[in-house]
Every structure is written in C-alpha cells, then in structure tokens.
A and B are shown apart, each in its own frame.
Chain A
Amino acid sequence: MSLTINQRTTGDVSILDLSGKITIGAGSVQLREAIRKLIDSNNKNILLNVGDVSYVDSSGIGELVNSFTNTNKAGGILKLLNLTKKIQDLLAITKLLTVFETFTSEEEALKSFNK
C-alpha cells in the first residue's frame, strides 16, 4: 500500500490526512507533490495528520523535513498532528522533535496557527 492523501481546509489551514507508507518506494514523491501544490496555490499553513501512516523509513523522515523546509522557505508553516509512537521515535532520536511543532489534538493544532 502506498500513500493516500486527503486534503481538507479549516479556516486558513490546509490539513492533509495521510494514510499508508512514506518510504523511498512509495509515498515520498506523492507527499512532495501535495506540499508543492499547496504552496503554489498560496496555502501556506499546513497541518500534516500522520496518525494513519503505517510505515516511515529514513527517506520518509527526510520528506517530512523537506516539506517543513519548503513550506518555511515559502513563508509558511508546517506542523504535525497525531504522531504514531514509531514516527515519534524516529523524529526523537534524530533530534527532529526540536524542529517540528507537534500536536495530539486537531483543535489545539488549528488554534496554534492563529497565535
């Protein structure tokens, strides 16, 4: 199973619900394209819901970093919602939890964009 991306919008925040794998063979390119489209259409407040992501490898982590960096460069902000234990572990041991803002509540995540 590769990556499925469902997009929804709440206020000025674009939420991408990700489901499946973000690996070098599946998912990384789809995520990159989805982020690029949002930035190109001037949707720069992005919340990635990764709660249903079943598998991430180092390329997938790299793509999350890419997404964060590209959004920042465009003057936007990208945050993460519903980290799984395994994604949290992969981010923590490479000190990336110090980079990403993460949330367990969508409501809290959405509020944070307006601060």
Chain B
Amino acid sequence: MEQNASTIALTINSSFKFTELVASVTDNITQIVGFGEEEAHWISLSVRESVINAIKHGNKLDSNKAVDVMFIISEESITISVRDYGEGFDPRHIPDPLDPTNLLNPSGRGIFYMRTFMDEVDFSSHPQGGTIVKMLKKRIISETTE
C-alpha cells in the first residue's frame, strides 16, 4: 500500500438497492481525493457496474451472499476492489459489445465501460471462492504529470 494511503471498506448484501449506497460513498471518496466532476462520474459508474455484476453474475442475485467493496485512496489514485462470493465469473466469455452482431444486445456493456473509464481493471479468483475485480484510476495532478 502506498504511503499515506487510506482504506475504506463496506459490505452489502446482494440487492440492487444498495448500489445507490455504494455510488454515494464512491462520490464522497472521489471528492476527497480531488477528482474532477466528469472523472468522478465515470469512476462512480464503473464501481456501480462492478457491484451490479457481482450481485447479478457473481452471487446470482442470492441476497444472502455479500459483496465486499474496498477503496484504497491516496493523493495520486484510487483503487477499488469488489469481491463477490459466487462460483466464479470469467470476463473473457463476454461477447464484444462493439461486434456488429452484438450492437443491439440489451446487455453486455458494463465491463466495457469499466475498462474504458478506469486506467486498470483486473479480474481474479479469490482463493476462498468468488471473483475480485480491482480497478485503478490515477489522478492527473498537473499537465506535466505522466
């Protein structure tokens, strides 16, 4: 963990009504870190998408299963981990939403949006079961920052 980093963790049951709560916490945290309005919006959307995936595809809407959300914040970046307790979820099997045959699919865009708006998105399996999505967004501190 980076020096001076802070960790905030929350756990919700698998219910879509709690996505608003997680989004609100995300909005507060991005404000604390100092992200601009637009970046904050897309970070919040990415977190919302990952929580919805965890509830829907990971925990299969089982309200007894938890979703753990952890934020690690520093002056330079925010890292968000979202863990479900499902049977595993392979993002490689999701059809490409940009393929012309998939353009009119009503679903399948969430992970694409996460990958578009965040700097890094990684999926891994937890040793005790479930999937962890880890997303990183760097804060652009000045024009000259690489």
Tell me what chain A mostly uses at the interface: helix, strand, loop, or mixed.
Answer: helix
Which chain A residues border B104 with CB–CB below 8 Å?
Answer: 65, 68-69, 99
Which chain B residues border A25 with CB–CB below 8 Å?
Answer: 16-17, 19-20
Which chain B residues border A66 with CB–CB below 8 Å?
Answer: 106
Q: A residues 76-92 with Cβ under 8 Å of B?
A: 86, 90
A10 at the interface (CB under 8 A from B): no
Q: How many residues of B contact A (CB 8 A)?
A: 21
Produce 1/0 per residue, B97-135, CB < 8 A to A: 110000111110110110010000000000000000000
CB-based contact B103/A62 at 8 Å: no
Tell me what chain B mostly uses at the interface: helix, strand, loop, or mixed.
Answer: helix
Shortest Cβ distance from residue B36 to the other chain A in the assembled complex, whole angstroms: 14
B54 at the interface (CB under 8 A from A): no
CB-based contact A24/B109 at 8 Å: no
In the complex the two chains form, what is the Cα distance from A68 to B105 in whole Å? 11
B137 at the interface (CB under 8 A from A): no
In the complex the two chains form, what is the Cα distance from A62 to B105 in whole Å? 7
Shortest Cβ distance from residue A85 to the other chain B in the assembled complex, whole angstroms: 8
**Known contacts A24-B19, A25-B20; is-contact A62 B106 (Cβ 8 Å):** yes
Q: How many residues of A contact B (CB 8 A)?
A: 21
Q: Of the 9-residue stretches A40-48, A53-61, A105-113, which lies at the interface with chain B?
A: A53-61
Nearest CB in chain B to that of A70: its residue? B106
In the complex the two chains form, what is the Cα distance from A30 to B17 in whole Å? 16
Produce 1/0 per residue, B16-28, CB < 8 A to A: 1101100000000
What 14 new A-B contacts, CB under 8 Å, besides A57-B52, A58-B107, A65-B104? A23-B19, A24-B52, A57-B45, A57-B49, A58-B110, A63-B106, A65-B105, A65-B106, A69-B104, A90-B113, A94-B98, A94-B109, A94-B113, A99-B104
16 contacts between A and B (CB under 8 A): A24-B19, A25-B20, A57-B49, A57-B52, A58-B109, A59-B52, A59-B107, A61-B109, A65-B104, A66-B106, A68-B104, A86-B41, A93-B113, A93-B116, A94-B97, A96-B103
Report B's interface with A, CB cutoff 8 A: 16-17, 19-20, 41, 45, 48-49, 52, 97-98, 103-107, 109-110, 112-113, 116
